[in-house]
Chains A and B, each alone.
Chain A
Amino acid sequence: MRTFTIKLGKRKICFSDRMIKEEEERRWWILPLIVLVYLLPRFVGDYTIYLLSLLAVNIIGAVSLDILCGFCGQLSLGHAAFLAIGAYTYGIFHMTFHQGCIISLLLAGLSGALLSLLIGIPSLRLKGLYLAIATMGFTFIVDEAVLFFSTWTHGVEGFRVSRVFDLDFVQLKSGTTDFYYFIYTLVILIVIFSRFLLHSKLGRAFTSIRDSDVAAEVSGVNLLFYKVLAFSISSFFASVGGALMGVVIGTISPEDFDILLSINYLVMLVIGGMGSVYGAVIGAIFITFLPEWITNLRDAFLPSGTDVSVLQLLIYGLIILIFIVFEPNGVYGRWLVIKAYFKKFPFNEKKIGRVAWILRWR
């Protein structure tokens, strides 16, 4: 028990750290946030609604990657491939075979999950970075396959996907407020699902694999099964996100799904913080609006000929490095530290420099 004394005039008042209550995590902010999400379209213009729909897709992509990388600790460079698979599956089933929208969406997700089994099972058998290498290869293969089968996928010219999402009782056109409500309902459901997953037996199995696979195995967790399960859940949602991306943008082509997109989602997780789902959302918000800021930066400071994509590459790389070295837990991690600081104030310990620096990674 530590005490802290302040003097008020002649009196001394003692506080002790026993007085700091152990609070249950208070989630009062969830409902207002959801209300805000639904109210937002009334105050913003059409272009912003379009951007926000894109943000929704990015949130789905980031959260799905978080399930694999943040919860389970497996690095994957193949997220773009699953987005591509989802987008093209949806496009083919909906546009070419004229299946319904919901069916096509589900099929898109399932095809992603099935393909993840195909590459997950061989590569997750081993410990180490084999999944990263395999998913990187998978991205290249998928990109090439899309070009190879251009009779189905329309290859480089682009596949036009209907921007109308047709539920039988209502048509939702991408860019409109109705579609915005639809996609954000999906997003909210996926976020809630992921949070429940995190605190469930499955989620604990995933995080135990991340933190100490020896302890996990000894406690009865079948490493291969759970790693593959994390991968397939992640790929299912990624493919759903990819399909929705097709609906939001309206055209899909292989250049949209290169390895840079996979890195895009990883950067979202690095910025926001891995493993907490909220971090993925924060990262997605940041990265969705970053290209605008980069363009503004470029216009303000650099000769107008400079290619924005080069700057984007440079800035993303620098962001990764800066965040990993200085803020490895991301924005959300820093927020948790700040919260804890205020909760314990004024009993905060002063950490010795190097210890703090090593403990930084979660």
Chain B
Amino acid sequence: MHNILDVENLFIAFRGLVALNGITFSVQAGEIFGLVGTNGSGKSTFFNCVNKLYKPQRGRIIYKEKIDLLKLPAHKMAELGIARTFQNLELFPHTKVIENIMVGLHPRLKIRRFLSNLSPKTFIRSWNWDKDEAFKILDFLGISRFHARLVAGLPYGIQKLIELGRALAAKPELLLLDEPSAGMNEQETRELARLIKLIREEFECTIILVEHDMNLVQSVCDTLCVLDSGNIVKIGKPEEVTRDPKVIKIFLGEDEGAQAGRG
């Protein structure tokens, strides 16, 4: 299996405003794929389409070369191994951190597993299974000391990690990160880059990043895709893409684009 995600002619419009204009691309298994573009270019909309929070009018999204995601309901995504974080953090504010993470475990807690643990010893042990798994995620992210705190009082950076933890709890094969570096300074962004690469190794998953921070994207991504007003401008390796004059024009404007092209 080569491509974990094939997007074909995805088109979605909101009452006349075209968000995605029939885009087509593929994401290879195991790579870190970056989706960049200016505001309103359709990046988060794309994620919402994958997650079935929005319904595109046309197009297909094929997962693992055989499953058409658009035919499935939204809650099946987690079962299939697709997890996502949100730009505006959808956390449960007045619940403990560990319980936020445990929600992410939902697709993994099947009744079959529970019933198969019917011998008394494993039954009692499995009672704490979800807590143990959640702690593993918290340890991995380095935030176990907050496990019993309510999410509401915690700093923004920690909350972002909790959101990430909830996505990771589902042991995803495809992880969608929506602007993970929003609100972070340079040092935190570098930590984040390191963390993203670590996640790819530890969890053996593919990561798609929607991002604004070009430094992060260049240091971390294997493939970069630039969107503008719902169309793909360029897709390829980060070094090539960032030197493309069209891309520079989008981000920096006409004159500077010309200058950068020359320089």
Contacts and interface: CB of A to CB of B under 8 A. Distances in A.
B233 interface: no
A53 B109 CA distance: 39
Contacts, number: 71
Interface in A159-218: 201, 204-205, 207-208, 211-212, 214-218
A212 B91 contact: yes
Contact of B106 (A204, A211, A223, A362): A204
Contact of A208 (B103, B148, B152): B103
Nearest to A215: B90
A222 interface: yes
A252 interface: no
Output the residue of A201, A219, A223 with the most chain B CB within 10 A.
Answer: A219
A211 B104 contact: no
Contacts of B73: 222
B148 A22 contact: yes
A219 B170 contact: yes
Interface in A210-260: 211-212, 214-223
Contact of A220 (B92, B106, B152): B106
Interface string B72-102: 0111111100011010001111110001001
Given A207-B95, A212-B90, A217 B74 contact: yes
Contacts of B90: 212, 214-215, 218
B147 to A, nearest CB: 9
Nearest to A211: B92
Interface string B98-118: 010011111101000000000
B165 to A, nearest CB: 12
A214 B47 CA distance: 13
A223 B109 contact: no
A349 to B, nearest CB: 9
B91 A215 contact: yes
B254 to A, nearest CB: 39
Interface string B203-238: 000000000000000000000000000000000000
Contact of A205 (B74, B79, B106): B106
A31 interface: no
A215 B166 contact: yes
Interface residues of A, number: 20
A211 B95 contact: yes
Interface in B42-58: 51, 53
A359 B94 CA distance: 9
B109 A201 contact: yes
Interface in B151-177: 152, 166, 170
A201 B84 contact: no
Contacts of A217: 51, 53, 74-75
Majority SS at the chain A contact face: helix
Given A201-B130, A204-B99, A211-B92, A218 B106 contact: no
B86 A215 contact: yes
A218 B51 contact: yes
Interface residues of B, number: 31
Output the residue of B51, B75, B91, B105 with the most chain A CB within 10 A.
Answer: B75
Nearest to A214: B90
Nearest to A333: B94
Contacts of A201: 105-106, 109, 130
Nearest to B53: A214
A214 B86 CA distance: 10
A175 B244 CA distance: 86
B92 A215 contact: yes
A218 B84 contact: yes
Nearest to A210: B92
B53 A220 contact: no
Contacts of B93: 211
A205 B108 CA distance: 13
B247 to A, nearest CB: 31
A220 B99 contact: no
A200 B73 CA distance: 24
Output the residue of A204, A220, A221 with the most chain B CB within 10 A.
Answer: A220
A299 B83 CA distance: 63
A212 B75 contact: no
Interface string B183-196: 00000000000000
Given A201-B105, A204-B99, A204-B103, 19 more contacts: A22-B148, A201-B130, A204-B102, A208-B92, A208-B106, A211-B92, A214-B53, A215-B91, A215-B103, A216-B103, A217-B53, A218-B83, A219-B83, A219-B103, A219-B104, A219-B166, A219-B170, A220-B76, A220-B106
Interface of B: 51, 53, 73-79, 83-84, 86, 90-95, 99, 102-107, 109, 130, 148, 152, 166, 170
3 closest Cβ pairs, A-B complex: A220-B78, A220-B107, A215-B90
28 contacts: A201-B105, A201-B106, A201-B130, A204-B99, A207-B92, A207-B95, A207-B99, A208-B92, A208-B103, A211-B93, A211-B95, A215-B90, A215-B91, A215-B103, A215-B166, A216-B103, A217-B51, A217-B53, A217-B74, A218-B51, A218-B53, A218-B77, A218-B83, A219-B103, A219-B104, A220-B75, A220-B76, A362-B94
